[in-house]
Chains A and B, each alone.
With several copies, the nearest count.
Chain A
Amino acid sequence: MAADQLRDAPSRAEIDRATLRDIYTRTMKVNRTDEKFRALLMEGKVAVMYYCVRGQELVSAAAMTALTDDDYVVCTYRGQGEQTAKGIPAEKWWAECLGKVTGTCKGKGGTMHITYPEKGIMVTTGVVGSGLPIANGLAMASQNNGDGRVTMVSFGDGAANIGGFHEAMNMAALYQLPIVFLCQNNRYGEHTAFADHTASPSIADRAAGYGMRSIHVDGNDVHQMYNAAKLAVDRARAGEGPTLIEAMCYRMMGHFFGADFSYMPPEHLAEMKAEDPLPKLRAVMLDRQFTEAELDDIVAQIDAEIDTAVARALAADFPDPHELKVDVFEEEMP
C-alpha cells in the first residue's frame, strides 16, 4: 500500500449523546483525580512520585471510551488517565498510589506500576517504550485464541525514539495484530522539546515505513480524538491490523509533580492554555444541549467518589514486610 493510502484523515463526525456523556464523565474523572492528587501533594498529605496528566485528560478518556471492559491496555507512569478512565475502582487506585495493602498491587507497584487485569490494565511500565512490545504480546494472545479483544498501548512522543517502539511497530504490522498504538504527543519527553529529540515533523509519519496505517489528530478535539480511536479499535477488532494514532496534546504541569519546568518557553505555555481540552469539551457538551447543571452534577458525583476513595485509602494499612517474600516466585520465599 502506498504511504498516502496508509494515512487516515481525522474525522469530525458527530458522536452520539450517550457516548459523549461517557467521554465527558471519564474526562472529568481523570481531571478531578489529577486535581485531587496535586492538592494532596501540595498540602503535603502524600509524598510520592506523581506524573500529572493535566492537559491530556481527553486523549485518555476518549481512547478508553472506544474500548470494551475486556480490551487490554498497557500504559506508562503517566497512566492515570488510562487507568481511571478504563475503570479501575477509585479506592483501589488511590490505595495503590498511597502504597496501601488495599491497593491494586498491595502497595508494591505504586504510581508507576498500576496493574488491574479485571479492567484490562495489564501493565504500567516505568521504562520508556517498553510497553509496546508487551502490548503486541497481549494482542498476539488474542489473535492466537480468537478472543476478539483489542489491545491499546499508550506512550509518549519521547518513547517513539527508543528501539522497542520500532521493533514493536514492525512486528505488529507484519502479523497484523489487533492493536492500537496511541502516541500522546505532549510535545516534551521529560525536559526535551519535540524538535530537540525528533527531526521529522510527526511520529505518525513513521507508520508508513512499517506498512502500518496511521492517523494524526488534535487530541484536544473530542471528535477527532474519539473518532480516531473508534476507527482504529474497530479496525483492529475486525482483524484488519494495527493503527498508530498520534494525538497532539500538551503536558501542562511539567514532567512530574514538583519538577522544575522553567525550561518550557512562555510562548509554549500560552499556546497550551489556548488549547486546554476541558473548556473545549465543555463547550461541545453545552452545544449538544447538556445543561450546566447536568455537567456540574457529573463532576460533583466524581468528586464525592474520589473523596471517599481517598479517605478510605488514607485510612488503610500499609503492607506487612512479609509481602517481600510473596509474589517473587509462585511459591513464597523461605
Chain B
Amino acid sequence: MTGKPPQITMVQALNQAIDEAMAEDDGVFCLGEDVAAKQGGGVFKVTSGLTEKYGTHRIRATPISETAIVGAAVGAALAGQRPIAEIMLMNFVGVCMDQIVNHAAKLRFMSGGQTNVPLVIRTTTGVGVGFGGQHSDMLEAWFAHVAGIRVVTPSNAADAKGLMRSAIDSNDPVIFIENILCYGLKSDDPGPGYRVPLGEAAIAREGSDVSLITYGRTVLDALAIADEMASVGISVEVVDLRTIAPYDEETVLASVRKTGRAITLHEAVRPYGTGAEMAATIHEKLWGKLKAPVLRIGGTFSPVPFVAALEQAWIPTKPEIVAAIRSSMENG
C-alpha cells in the first residue's frame, strides 16, 4: 500500500454514518430546518447529498418549529422508525425541552416498556466563533440529569462516525452534540459500518500522573497540554468520555485509581456542570486513594460574551488548565 489512508472530516463522517444507516434501514430518516437538498443540505452540510438518494420524505426540511420537529421524531420513533432530528443550535432546545425530557426520555418508562423512543437529536454548539449569548451554550448537564436519555459528543471525525452509527442503532433516545469548531477536524476514514459503542470512554492519551477527564472540543486542548506537560515531566492521561451520560464510570475510576489525581474539563459553565458529578463520584468511590482533590475546570459563570476578547477569556484557558495540573501535582 502506498500513500496515506483516506481522510474524512467530521462533517463527512457524520454524513457517511447517516447515509449508511439510511441505506440499511428504511426506517431511518432525517428532519430539521434546512436539511434537504433544496436548502443546501443543512447549514453545516451534514445532510448534504442525502435528499438526492433518499427523497424528501426521508430528508424532511421543516419549518422553524423545534417542538414540532422533536415531537414528530418522538411520534415516528414510537411507530418504529428511527428519526434523526436536527436542532440547529443547542440553545434552541430551550423551546422544546418538554418533548425531549417529558416525552422522549420518559415514554418507555411511563408505558411500562410497551413503547420506546429510538431517536437521535443532533445539535451543534461551541464557544469561540462569536455567536454570543444565545448560540454557544453547552447544556449537556441538563440532559445528563434526566433518566432515560443518552448524551453523546465526539471529539474527532472517526468517533463522530462510530458514535453516530451507534446512536442510530440505539433503542433509547440520544442527544448527539456536535461542536462547530470540530466540524473540520480530520481522521483516517474508519470505513463502512464503523461503530463506537455508546457508554465507552476512550483513553485519548495514556499517562500516569494525573487524569484529565473531558469530552468534545476540549479534548483537543487536553491533548495539546498533555504534550507540553510531558516535556516538563508531568504525565497526563486524557480521558475522552465520548458518551457524557450515562458515562463510563469504570474507565474514569480506573484511570484515576492509577494516577491518583483527576481534573475535569468542559466548555459548559463550571457550577453544576458534569464535572461536579464526576468529581463527587471519584471522591466517594476512591476515598483515601486520591493524592489531591479533584479539580474542575469549566466555562466562566456568565452568559457567553460576543466579542473575542471576552470569549477567549470565557472559555477554559490553557494557563488555567496548566495551573490546575500543577496545583494537583503539588499535592501528595
Contacts and interface: CB of A to CB of B under 8 A. Distances in A.
Interface residues of A, number: 80
Contacts of A3: none
B256 interface: no
B63 to A, nearest CB: 4
Interface in A138-155: 138-145, 151
B133 to A, nearest CB: 6
Given A132-B71, A137-B74, A197 B64 contact: yes
A324 B302 contact: yes
Given A109-B132, A113-B133, A197-B62, 12 more contacts: A111-B306, A127-B94, A130-B98, A138-B76, A138-B79, A151-B75, A167-B67, A189-B33, A196-B39, A319-B305, A327-B109, A329-B246
B287 interface: no
Interface string A188-218: 0111110011100000000000000000000
Contact of B79 (A72, A126, A128, A198): A72
Given A99-B308, A191-B34, A328-B108, A167 B172 contact: no
Nearest to B38: A263
Interface string B73-111: 111111111010000000110110011001100011111
Interface string B160-193: 0000000000111000000000000000000000
Nearest to A175: B60
Contacts of B246: 329
A81 interface: no
Contact of A141 (B61, B79, B147, B310): B79
Contacts of B171: 330
A100 B26 CA distance: 38
Given A109-B111, A136-B72, A262-B40, A325 B302 contact: yes
Interface stretch (B2-10, B113-121, B227-235, B273-281): B113-121
A106 B116 CA distance: 15
Interface in A288-334: 318-319, 321, 323-330, 333
A19 interface: no
B306 A191 contact: no
Nearest to B314: A324
- Residue of B62, B135, B307 most packed against chain A (CB within 10 A): B307
- Residue of A107, A132, A139, A159 most packed against chain B (CB within 10 A): A107
A170 B75 contact: no
A196 B59 CA distance: 13
Contacts of A144: 27, 29, 57-58, 76, 81
Contact of B114 (A48, A104, A143, A318): A104
A125 interface: yes
Interface in A141-183: 141-145, 151, 158-159, 161-164, 167-168, 170-171, 174-175
Contacts of B148: 328-329
A116 B110 CA distance: 11
A327 B112 contact: yes
B197 interface: no
B8 to A, nearest CB: 21
Interface residues of B, number: 76
Interface of A: 47-49, 72, 74, 98-100, 103-113, 115-117, 122-123, 125-130, 132-145, 151, 158-159, 161-164, 167-168, 170-171, 174-175, 189-193, 196-198, 260, 262-263, 318-319, 321, 323-330, 333
A123 B98 contact: no
A130 B99 contact: yes
B63 A197 contact: yes
B70 interface: yes
B286 interface: no
B43 A109 contact: no
A296 B39 CA distance: 39
A198 B64 CA distance: 10
Interface in B299-330: 300-303, 305-310, 313-314
Nearest to B92: A127
Contact of B63 (A122, A125, A189): A189
A137 B308 contact: no
A167 B68 contact: yes
B75 A190 contact: no
- Residue of B39, B58, B63, B71 most packed against chain A (CB within 10 A): B63
Contacts of A333: 301-302
B293 interface: no
B180 to A, nearest CB: 12
Contacts of B29: 144
A122 B78 contact: yes
A95 B325 CA distance: 39
B63 A192 contact: yes
B67 to A, nearest CB: 5
Given A116-B114, A171-B62, A145 B81 contact: yes
A137 to B, nearest CB: 2
- Residue of A133, A143, A158, A262 most packed against chain B (CB within 10 A): A133
Contacts of B147: 328
B66 interface: yes
B194 interface: no
Contacts of A133: 67-68, 70-72, 74-75, 99
Contact of A324 (B113, B150, B305): B305
17 contacts: A99-B308, A103-B112, A108-B133, A115-B112, A123-B107, A126-B132, A126-B135, A127-B98, A133-B70, A144-B29, A162-B64, A167-B63, A174-B63, A191-B34, A192-B34, A192-B39, A196-B38
